[in-house]
Amino acid sequence: MKIFLLTDNTDTAIGMRLAGVKSVVVHNRETLSAALDKALQNPEYGMILYTSKLREIAEDIIISKTEGNPRIIFYEIPDRHGYKDKTSSISDVVKSSVGIQI
């Protein structure tokens, strides 16, 4: 199983690539939709991550394309600035998931 990341932030993409996660940087609804379609067609991906900023700009697209797909896990992650409405940052998520402080 491979992991794929959709992000609006180049720094987040680079950090995740260092961890072996393929990623694509998108900044609008159209490129997000196309990148998500491409990722969903790849049978190697078992998890698709997306940043909270992308959820803010295209939650309806994410829900419509991922709803009812039992093959892939979809998970929202914060970018380097954290969640807009929460205090977690990407380093907090990595620390709680992997146990390493970055």
The domain total for the chain is 1
| Sheet of 45-51, strands arranged across | 22-25, 2-7, 45-51, 73-77
With cut-offs at 50, 70 and 90, classify the pLDDT of residue 23.
very high
pLDDT in tens, 62-98: 888 888 888 888 888 886 666 555 555 556 666 665 5
**Cα(first)–Cα(last) distance of the chain, in Å?**
24
CATH number at residue 39: 3.40.50.10580
Query: Which residue segment(s) compose the domain that 10 sits in?
Result: 2-98
